[in-house]
Structure 1
Amino acid sequence: MSAAVLTLDGVGVRRGERWALEGVSGVIRRGAMTAIVGPNGAGKSTLLDTLAGQITPQQGRLTRAAGVTVAYLPQSARIDRSFPIRVGDVVALGAWSRIGLWKALGGGLRREVAEALVAVGLAGCERRAISDLSAGQFQRVLFARLMLQNADLILLDEPFNAIDEATTADLLALIHHWHAQGRSIVAVLHDMAQVRAHFDQTVRLSQRVLGWGATDAVLSADEATA
């Protein structure tokens, strides 16, 4: 069995007056493709925020393996696309932990940005404003930014929401490429066909964990109790 990247032990998170997560325990393993599923309000985005270190649990403990780096793509609806910034600059932000926020882009980083945009099908779009992009194009830009982060664990919150089938297929291919490199992927998804086809592990959530393990077993148990 592969080593644990993240371990959750009785994690609880409050959102205002209610518990968004209660008693969540489980393991994200190195090299796994893990889907998080559940109804609206189940705490799926809260769980990703917690895994990313953006929220500190009020109960329990989250342990990250030594040296593991994390990249997080929140829902696109949480990102202000009216901000006056160009595509190339958004992608370059993926390297901020290496170069700092205010360092001028050198030739090496510019090449990384250009190569990432080629990989997501947006070659030559560095100078376009993000406000001019379609939803699918903007999601491609955000995936290019993830490439520059070069993280061990990649967290994706509804990465295929409101984008076309061609873009979804391209981004799924990129996720599989990352997985083949040994990275761990965790994604919040609603399409059970996508989950079954592409993710070997599934977490079924409704504030508490209702199932965590092999996808076929977790989804079959869900269908049996529906």
Structure 2
Amino acid sequence: MDRDILGGITAMIELNNLVVGYQGKALTPPISGHFSAGSLTAILGENGVGKSTLLKTIAQLHAPVSGDIHYGKPTSQLLSWLPQQSDIDRSFPIRVFDVAAMGCWPNTGLFNALSDTQYQRVREALYQTGIASLANNTIDTLSGGQFQRMLFARLLVQDTPVMMMDEPFVGIDSQTRAALMELITALNQSGKTIITVLHHIEVVQAFFPQLLLMKNQQVRWGETQHILPQYLHQHWTSSPRAQLSQPQQGADHEPACS
């Protein structure tokens, strides 16, 4: 069952002094806070600060350097992952339908056939993402936008409570970006907890109520309307660890665990 913490707010994922990096070398300061159920959070920051590494560590693709992560339920039932396009070999001869159907693997295993229900679920996901007509195309024939829609279809098929996305709008046109953002918003409104690494500040500002901001070996975590102006206008000078400010009347910062 999910754990209720911080005044009854349900935490899907909780970070406790989490430090992430590679081969034991830290990229971030200790980060503490939680992603509440149904939240929509962007991770924003300059190149090299550890945004994607943080997301991959939460997704259990990397081990933490130190600290720990607590999950509201077993991760196989909780998490799904949309990688950067650059992480995928696009020359592999596989059909669009088969990539989307990989979202069924946690339930079917690698080699078992799809049930009729699962087959229909894959078809519906391809329709929702606007690429049903490309189901039998191989992935090497896809444009950047079509490829990203396919990855979103796989995410829809997996249908987990928490969906994590690493730079989902890189290399796609504005029309596709708008369509996928509409899909993300609908997923969140249906109750999904969504955590997304982004570099489009205007998208963060317009659509993401929660922000985990990384800059100069420091982290701010809270409501976008309070945190984002610091990134745009202020230089941080406080201690290099995640700032967990307490709620105060008239304060500029929201609690980091919101």
Band the TM-score falls in, shorter-chain normalisation: over 0.9
Query: Which of residues 2, 6, 9 in structure 2 aligns to 1:2?
Result: 9
Q: TM-score, normalised by structure 2?
A: 0.84
Q: TM-score, normalised by structure 1?
A: 0.95
Q: After the TM superposition, which residues 88-127 of structure 1 pair with which residues of structure 2 at under 5 Å, given as runs?
A: 88-127=97-136
Please say if residues 114 and 124 of structure 1, whose CA atoms lie closer than 8 Å, have aligned partners that are also in contact.
no
What residue number does 2:227 align with? 218
Q: Which has the higher contact order (CA 8 A, sep 6+)?
A: 1
Q: Partners of 1:122 and 1:97 in 2: how far apart? A: 23
1:11 and 2:46 aligned: no
Identity %: 38
What residue number does 2:252 align with? none
1:45 and 2:40 aligned: no
Q: Partners of 1:207 and 1:77 in 2: how far apart? A: 26
Please say if residues 20 and 50 of structure 2, whose CA atoms lie closer than 8 Å, have aligned partners that are also in contact.
no
Q: Partners of 1:108 and 1:7 in 2: how far apart? A: 34
Q: CA deviation at 1:20?
A: 1.6
Q: Structure 1 pair 32/81, CA: closer, same or farther in 2 (3 Å)? A: same
**Deviations, residues 62-111 of structure 1 (Å, cap 9, x unaligned):** 11112561001111100111111000100000010111110123332221
Q: What letter matches 2:89 in structure 1? A: D
Q: After the TM superposition, which residues 9-158 of structure 1 pair with which residues of structure 2 at under 5 Å, given as runs?
A: 9-16=16-23, 18-67=25-74, 69-158=78-167
Which structure has the larger Rg over C-alpha atoms?
2
Q: Partners of 2:67 and 2:143 in 1: how far apart? A: 41
> Where in structure 2 are there 5+ consecutive unaligned residues?
1-7, 236-258
Q: Structure 1 pair 4/51, CA: closer, same or farther in 2 (3 Å)? A: same
Q: Partners of 2:23 and 2:58 in 1: how far apart? A: 19
Please say if residues 22 and 207 of structure 1, whose CA atoms lie closer than 8 Å, have aligned partners that are also in contact.
no
Q: CA deviation at 1:221?
A: 2.1
SS of residue in 2 equivalent to 1:21: coil
> Where in structure 1 are there 5+ consecutive unaligned residues?
none
Q: Structure 1 pair 149/37, CA: closer, same or farther in 2 (3 Å)? A: same
Q: Partners of 2:219 and 2:65 in 1: how far apart? A: 21
Q: Structure 1 pair 201/209, CA: closer, same or farther in 2 (3 Å)? A: farther
Q: What letter matches 1:94 in structure 2? A: G
Name the stretch that deviates more: 206-215 or 110-119.
206-215
**Deviations, residues 171-199 of structure 1 (Å, cap 9, x unaligned):** 11111111011111111111111001110
Runs of 4+ with deviation above 6 angstroms: none
Q: Partners of 2:140 and 2:61 in 1: how far apart? A: 26
Q: Partners of 2:231 and 2:16 in 1: how far apart? A: 23
